[in-house]
Structure formats: structure tokens, C-alpha cells
Chains A and B, each alone.
Chain A
């Protein structure tokens, strides 16, 4: 085998919670972008970024939807930052049974940030006019031994386990109909 190095693009969004003003424009555009057809509806509950916003305690935390988890954590910690107390869940990206965050409101199917596939720049970043969200791309080397996991497949399997094959098939049918 060759010793050529492979790289992959790491996309990251930097979140500066000091700059966040709680406007939820990021939620608005994310949910509109992911509507089917695109931009046909708006509903922050479907957004893949949600802002925990408690103005009186000055808590503003935009969080991106990450992976679906089957069970909630057993113990939960608290963070104290600058004298403000945050629940661990506040920073957590999981679509988790403990909360209704990052789940489709009707079906309960998990939502996950896809970095706005197909767009030049994540739209939440574009719509955050105060630069609380900024976007960065960097190339990172990956080792030979890195195993490629078929993420889509394991993801689907988890969904089928949780929601049953019919419901998942139904959603896929809806998606492909909308994409045609």
C-alpha cells in the first residue's frame, strides 16, 4: 500500500455565546431550509440548532443537533461558568429521550445538523448577523487504519429499532417525493 496521506475536510462552527443576542434567526433559517419543499414553511421546533435562552439569568447557548441516543445519561452534571449555572444537557447535542429538543415535532424522529448540505456556507451562520456563529473549514490528515463506518446505515438501523420500519419507510417516501 502507498504511504500517501489522505485528508478530510473538517467543518466547524464556532459559537461565541457572549455575542449571542437570543434572536433565534438561526433557528428560523435552519427550519425553513430543511422544510420540504425548501423554504416552504417555518417552524423553529424543527431546527437543527436551538438556542437555550434564559434572559433573566443571562443564559444564551446555541446548540447544534448531534446524534440520536437511545437512553438518557444516568448522572448529569452542572457547569458553573462566570458564576452562571448551566445544566449539562444545555450544552448537549444529543437527540435524547430526556427532552423534546432535536426531534421532529410530529413523528418524534431525531434531527441532526447536516451543515446545510449543498450550500456554500451554513445558513445559520449566514443569518447570524452578530457573528455569534462563525464557520471554519480545515483539512485534517486521516490515518490509513481509519475504518469507514457506514453512518447512514447504523443511523437507519437505530431509527428502525426505535420507530418501527413502517414509520421510517413512510418518512423516506415523503422525503423522496419532495425531492423529485
Chain B
């Protein structure tokens, strides 16, 4: 018997219209766990590096985490992997909500889409019954609207629907897949779904998901619930409110937005408004949110209520969570009322709430600066808010200038030319980042931004405080019950970390410490992405209920795979390296690993090179960021080095070839 997983993947070839149920190899589960890990193995095995994002050979994989569908609180992530049209690298966006557990209950671990359907279709997965159905009547419909229509059509309110809106249908490079209160937004995976001609995947399941050691497992789940309660009554002192508790940042609950509005940048990640927040604005925004918010809502099997149902007067209801609350508001220099209104449309269209507002602000900057002309925006309203609604409509329909903007700031700027590139200033690996511009280089964040392959800082950071505590007492108090550390040395690093002087940024944490911190943080995110655990209860917040010491027990008792800290760390390293291997095969190198030039005012080029060198070394990558034969061998990934040697990426017995040249180019 298979535990935690079902052992069956659903393979759907949309070109031929064929549906197959394929048993998976339990040895792959041991090596790559599930979710992101096994997704990546499939991507490596079956999607050759020449594959274009919009080729029928590209796969779109909906993978459930290994522990989804078990009683583990907050374990509900679907990990969607494909080759991204935006980065041309592997994208792996996650969505919470209810879809992954439902797929498990239907009897499948993954849905793997290949080929392209000539007509728009939707998939209906109901236990053993799997159908490809006509979706012509859903063309152009909103993502939320589609879900509601399908519930009616199937006469079942218990189905879970993952759908794209018009942006996905138009292959907008930052189109999302929406699912109730959650979405998988980064990397334009919605565009790949649209390209494959799939409007929605509807799931309903009524089968069992088994665990290997029932008593142990439920005991572990109980401990997690107790710890969540403990953290609720013991918020972390001395950090700002959204970092004090658990869950995704509780944007639907808080009204005090001083920190975000005064520290994050407005417009096209341009302007900081230091004295923006005041009582009057707080009053207005509080009213807006309270009137709009019908209810706080959770994902499957989680008490945290990070999302909310939003009903703006005169507009259809939708759901929202997290920072999308402010991205449109700040991108347009507007207010919360506007932000919640345009987000309603954006959610129906299905676009990434980080990228989209920046793209629109970028377009208006180009207009202001004469790089784009009034003729490029025929019929655009005069008022600021009206312009954003106009641009959004143009983008999701790929009409006029919208056709360019639909490719994101990087590709649009390239095509527009004439100096436009300088305005696409907030990208890493061709992807718009959080609008943050800071002063002093932070070595830990430098490494995370540079080497992250999830394209989003929130999917790499966490666990280790973002800033030092002011006093010795605070530091001591913090480390006194810091059970989550994988090694005691992290406590000392924090104890010695100061705001000023020798032990402060950028030289402290030292290069070596910074590498260790980043490695820990990243490892925890990768583990979450394989198990299907929400980062909001694990890798993202300080002192989470899931950590490196209880995860092995969850895997042993849940999936029946013998596990300990070392073996789990090694497994995470294995598929993390495999993600890199996929991207290295597709041409990613050290030259691509840079935060935006203006992310920090005070930069330290030598230190930055040193940080990268040391981190690559720790990860077992050569100076160009390529995993070495030796480290691949240690991870049981000889098949990767064979391919690298065959493709001339590595030379036999020589790992550092060609690096000098690249390294100097970087300096």
C-alpha cells in the first residue's frame, strides 16, 4: 500500500485527447519526496532544454504535496511546474486553497498535461471518471465566474476548480491560475494553461488517503495545533506586527498599513512616501476594507484565515489574500478603494498581482517620458485610475500596446527599445520583483535575491529575523525557545548581530554565516514545496510549528519512508539541485544571478562576488553556478552530470572550466 501519496499520476495528452492513469515509482518518492521534487524529476526527464514554453512538448504539471490530504494542518499546496514564457526557465508556482487535497481524494498525486487541445476544453476529474469536456461556452469568462458556472453545470457545490481568466487565454506572460481564494501566479503558468487550451480543471474526490503510522501521525498533528495556539498567545515581541505571528502576512486583518505604504515603493517601484500614513487615511482605508470584507477565510484544514471574501459595492464578489491588497493601490498612486476594485477585475482576468501593476505603471512612465506616445494609447481615459483599468483591459486582450505589455517589463522594454530598458529596472531573471528599494546591502538578502529560482523573495526568505534585535535581552529572549534552528550556531549569529558597528550589515553576518542562513531558509521552502505545506506555517514566519526536527517524523509516520534530519536535508538538496540543473540546461548562469542594480543604494561589488563564490561552493556548484560532477554524484544525480558533459556544459573531470571568463565579466 502507498501511504500519504496515491501512487497514481494522471497523464493527459491534449493533442490526442488521451487520458492515462500511470503508477509511479515509490523509489522516486524516497529520493524526491513529492510536489516540487517529483515535478522537477518529470520536467528533467521529459522536457528537453530546447523546448519552448508554448510548445506542445512543454508539460504543465499540477503536483500535490506528499502530505496533502492527510490531517497535517495547512498542508494543502498544489505545486504547478512548467517552462515559463516570462523567464524561459522552470516555473514552479504554488497555490493553497482546496484543490490539492481534493485531487488526492480523487486518487491522484499529479495531473500532467502535455500537447495542446485544438479547442478550449475543461477537465472534469471525479474519482475514477476523468473527462475532457468542451469549454467553448466559457471562453472569455472570468476565473471566478468560470468556477461558479462549472459548479452549476456539474450540479455540485463541492467541486474544486482551478481556472484561468482571459489573461491565460491570451497567453499573458504573467497570467495566473486562480482557485477560490488562492492562485498560482508567478512565471506565467496561466499562459501555458491557456496555450494548452485548458480553461479549468475541476476536481471532486471521495477516496481515502492513508497514513503509515496512524497514532504517531495524529499525535504529531496535535502537537502542531498546540504550537500554533502557543504562538497565537505568544507573538514575537520587537518585530513588526505582520512578522510577529503565523500564517501568510495577515493583510486581510490589519488596518495599519504604515509599514507597507511608507517602506515599499509606489508607482513603477519608484517613489518612497515616507510620511504617507496618517489618521485620516487610516480611517478611510479601515472603512473601505471593513465594508468590503464579508468574511475571513482559510485554506483547507487550516485555522489561520489569511484570506477574505471581498464585495465592493456594485462589483461581483471575489477573494483575496496577502499583499495584492496594496500592489494596485501603490502601483497607481491611488487608494485602497481603487485597489480593491481593480483587483476584482484582475482576479477574474487572472493576472499576477506583483507583476501586473508594475507593468502598467511602467507603461505610463514610458508615456510620460516620451518613449511611448499618445497614439500608442488610443481612447485612454484622462484620469489616473481610469488609465489603469484601460491598460488592464488592453493587456488581457493583447490589444494594441497591450500586446507588448502582456510580455512583462523585460520583454516589452526590449521590443520598445529607445531607452525603455532603463524603465524595466526592478527585475531579476526577467521577472518583476517586490517594489523595494533600500539603502545598505544586506548580505543574506543579496544571496536570496541573486540565487533564488522561485523569482519571489517571499518564497525564499523566512525563519531568520530580517533585522537584528536592539538589545541583548531581546536577543537572549528570542533564542531561548528557538527550537526550529537546524544547528545551535544560528543562535550565536543572532546574539552577536547588531544594528551598527563591526557586527552589522553588510559584513555581518559574515560571508560564511550568510551562506548558512540562506541555505537553511531555502532548504525549508523546498521541503514545504515537496510536502505541500503552506509556507505561512513553516518556512516563512519566525518560529513556525513545522521545522527540520519534526518534518522527518511527519514523513516517516505519514508516508512510511524512513527519514531523519540528514536524509531529509539531502533529499531537499537533491531536488533543489535538479531545479538548478533544469535551468542550467536552459542557459541560466552566474550572469543572471543579480538583484536589480538599484535595489540597494550602498553596494559592495567585491563582497557580493565573494558571497556568490562562497554560496555556490556550499551548494556544490562551480563558479558559474553549475552543479559540479562531484556534488551531483553525491546526490545520486549522475544522470545530470552525464547530460551536462554530453551537452558541453561541464567537461569530464573538470568542473571549473570557462569560469574565469565569466567571473571577470561580472566584476
Category for how many chain B residues contact A: 35 or more
Q: If A42-B69, A53-B157, A58-B295 touch, does A130 touch B303 (CB 8 Å cutoff)?
A: yes
Q: Measured between alpha carbons, how far is A40 from B46 in the docked complex, in Å?
A: 35
A135 interface residue per 8 A CB criterion: no
A44-B105, A45-B105, A129-B228 given as contacts; is B211 within 8 A of A39 (CB)? yes
Q: Which of B209-223 contact A (CB under 8 A)?
A: 209-211, 214-215, 217-218
Set of chain B residues within 8 Å of A29, measured between Cβ atoms: 71
Contact between A39 and B215, CB atoms less than 8 A apart: yes
Answer yes or no: B393 CB below 8 A from chain A CBs: no
Task: Report the minimum CB–CB distance from B147 to chain A (whole Å).
Answer: 8
Asked if A120 is at the interface of the complex by the 8 Å CB criterion, the answer is no
Shortest Cβ distance from residue A24 to the other chain B in the assembled complex, whole angstroms: 6
Provide the bound-state CA to CA distance between A29 and B221, in Å: 10
Kindly report which residue of chain A lies nearest to residue B319, judged by CB atoms: A55
Pairwise interchain contact B180-A37, C-beta atoms closer than 8 A = no
Q: Could you tell me the distance between the alpha carbons of A28 and B157 in the complex, rounded to whole angstroms?
A: 18
Give Cα A58 to B181, complex, Å. 13
Q: Which residues of A contact B206 (CB under 8 A)?
A: 43, 45, 105
B148 at the interface (CB under 8 A from A): yes
B645 touches A (CB below 8 Å): no
Q: Which of A41, A52, A54 sits near B209, CB closer than 8 Å?
A: A41
Q: How far is the CA of A23 from the CA of B296 in the complex (A)?
A: 11
**What total of A-B pairs shows CB separation below 8 Å?**
95
B71 close to A32 (CB less than 8 A): yes
Contact residues in A for B207 (Cβ distance below 8 Å): 43, 45, 105
Determine whether the beta carbon of A55 is less than 8 Å from that of B211. Answer: no
The reply to whether B301 and A23 form a contact with Cβ atoms under 8 Å apart is yes
In the complex, whether B317 has a CB less than 8 A from a CB of chain A is yes
B305 interfacial by beta-carbon distance below 8 Å: yes
Is A22 a contact of B105 with CB atoms below 8 Å?
Answer: no
Whether B309 sits at the interface, judged by CB under 8 Å, is yes
Q: Are A23 and B303 closer than 8 Å at their CB atoms?
A: yes
B208 within 8 A of A: yes
Q: How far is the CA of A174 from the CA of B131 in the complex (A)?
A: 34
- Supposing A21-B305, A56-B148, A129-B229 touch, asked if A43 and B105 sit within 8 A by C-beta, the answer is yes
Q: A11 — which chain B residues lie within 8 A by C-beta?
A: none
Pick from A38, A55, A127, A129: contact of B297, CB below 8 A: A55
A25 / chain B contacts, CB cutoff of 8 Å: 73, 301-303
A113 within 8 A of B: no
Minimum Cβ distance to chain B for residue A138 (Å):
27
CB distance from A76 to the nearest CB of B (A): 15
Could you say which residues of chain A place their CB within 8 Å of the CB of B205? Answer: 45
Please tell me if B299 contacts chain A, counting CB pairs below 8 Å.
yes
Q: What 0/1 pattern do residues 129 to 167 of B give for CB contact below 8 A with A?
A: 000000000000000100010000000011000000000
Residue of chain A at shortest CB distance from B156: A100
Q: Is the CB of B301 within 8 A of A32?
A: no
In the bound complex, do residue B295 and residue A23 qualify as a contact, i.e. CB atoms below 8 Å apart? no
**Chain A residues near B228 (CB-CB < 8 A):** 129
Partner of A60, one of B69, B73, B295, B317: B295
Whether A43 contacts B214 by the Cβ 8 Å rule is no
Considering only CB atoms, which chain A residue lies closest to B70 in the complex?
A42
B300 is an interface residue with CB less than 8 A from chain A: yes
The answer to whether A127 and B225 touch (CB under 8 A), given A42-B208, A56-B148, is: yes
On whether the beta carbons of B214 and A23 are closer than 8 Å, the reply is: no
Write the nearest CB–CB distance from B378 to chain A, whole angstroms. 35
A35 within 8 A of B: yes
Out of A28, A58, A130, name the residue touching B294 (CB < 8 Å): A58
From A21, A24, A28, name the one whose CB has the most chain B CB atoms within 10 angstroms. Answer: A21
**Quick check: is B87 within 8 A (CB to CB) of the other chain?**
no
> Is the CB of B298 closer than 8 A to any CB of chain A?
yes
CB atoms of B209 and A40 under 8 A apart: no
CB contacts (< 8 Å) of B217 on chain A: these are 39
Q: A21 touches which one: B70, B105, B215, B297 (CB < 8 A)?
A: B297
Q: Contacts A45-B105, A55-B309, A129-B225; is A37 near B214 (CB within 8 Å)?
A: yes
CB neighbours (8 Å) of A60 from chain B are 295
Q: Which of A45, A56, A128 has the most CB of B within 10 A?
A: A56
Smallest CB–CB gap between A4 and chain B, Å? 42
Q: Scan A12-42; emit 1 where CB is below 8 A from any B CB, else 0.
A: 0000000001111100110010010111111
In the complex, which residues 600-625 of chain B have their Cβ closer than 8 Å to any Cβ of chain A?
Answer: none
Determine how close the nearest CB of chain A comes to the CB of B225; give it in whole angstroms: 7
Q: How far is the CB of B433 from the nearest CB of chain A, in Å?
A: 31
| B301:A41 contact, CB within 8 angstroms | no
Q: Which residues of B53-82 have CB atoms within 8 Å of chain A's CB atoms? A: 69-71, 73
Enumerate chain B residues within 8 angstroms of A24, measured Cβ to Cβ. Answer: 98, 300-301
Tell me if A129 and B303 are in contact (CB < 8 A).
yes
Rounded to whole angstroms, the CA-CA distance of A134 and B218 in the bound complex is: 21
CB distance from A99 to the nearest CB of B (A): 10
Docked complex Cα distance between A40 and B309 (Å): 34
Q: What 0/1 pattern do residues 313 to 324 of B give for CB contact below 8 A with A?
A: 000111100000
Chain A residue, CB-CB nearest to B232 = A129
| From B71, B144, B158, B298, contact of A42 by CB (8 A) | B71
Residue of B nearest to A58 (CB): B294
List, in ascending order, chain B residues with CB within 8 A of A39's CB.
71, 211, 214-215, 217-218
- Give the contacting residue for A32; candidates B218, B225, B299; CB below 8 A: B218
- Provide the residues of chain A in CB contact with B71, threshold 8 Å: 28-29, 32, 39, 42
- What is the distance, in angstroms, from B402's C-beta to the closest C-beta of chain A? 28
Complex Cα distance, B631 from A2, in Å, reads: 85
**Residues from chain B with Cβ under 8 Å of A35 in the complex:** 208, 214
Bound-state Cα–Cα, A130 to B304, Å: 9
Contact residue among A41, A54, A128 (Cβ-Cβ distance under 8 Å from B157): A54
Indicate if the CB atoms of A21 and B300 lie closer than 8 Å: no
Q: Are B303 and A56 in contact (CB under 8 A)?
A: no
Tell me the smallest distance from the CB of A148 to a CB of chain B, in Å. 35
Contact among B73, B211, B295, B298 for A41, CB-based, below 8 A: B211
Chain A residues in 8 Å Cβ range of B69: 42
Cα A35 to Cα B214 in complex, Å, equals 10
A28 to B68: give the CA distance in the assembly, Å.
12
Chain B residues, Cβ within 8 Å of A58: 294-295, 309, 317
Instruction: Flag if B209 contacts A43 (CB, 8 Å).
Output: yes
Q: Which of B158, B181, B218, B300 contacts A55 (CB 8 A)?
A: B181
Q: Are B180 and A55 neighbours in the complex by a CB distance under 8 Å? A: yes
* A142: min CB distance to chain B, Å: 36
The answer on a CB contact under 8 Å between A130 and B305 is yes
Q: Is the pair B300, A52 in contact by a Cβ cutoff of 8 Å?
A: no
Closest to B215 in A: A39
A23 pairs with B300, CB closer than 8 A: yes
B211 and A40 form a contact (CB under 8 A)? yes
B302 contacts A41, C-beta separation under 8 Å: no
How distant is B489 from chain A, measured CB to nearest CB, in Å?
35
Q: Which residues of B contact A (CB under 8 A)?
A: 69-71, 73, 98, 105, 144, 148, 157-158, 180-181, 205-211, 214-215, 217-218, 225, 228-229, 294-303, 305, 309, 316-319
| 27 A-B interface contacts by CB (under 8 A) | A21-B298, A22-B297, A23-B303, A25-B73, A29-B71, A32-B71, A32-B214, A35-B208, A38-B214, A39-B218, A41-B209, A42-B71, A42-B208, A42-B209, A42-B210, A42-B211, A43-B209, A45-B205, A52-B157, A55-B297, A56-B144, A56-B148, A56-B309, A56-B318, A60-B295, A105-B207, A130-B303
Q: Given contacts A35-B208, A39-B217, A55-B295, could you give 18 more A-B pairs where the C-beta distance is less than 8 Å?
A: A21-B295, A22-B297, A39-B211, A39-B214, A39-B218, A40-B211, A40-B214, A41-B211, A42-B69, A42-B70, A53-B158, A56-B144, A58-B294, A58-B295, A127-B225, A128-B303, A129-B228, A129-B303
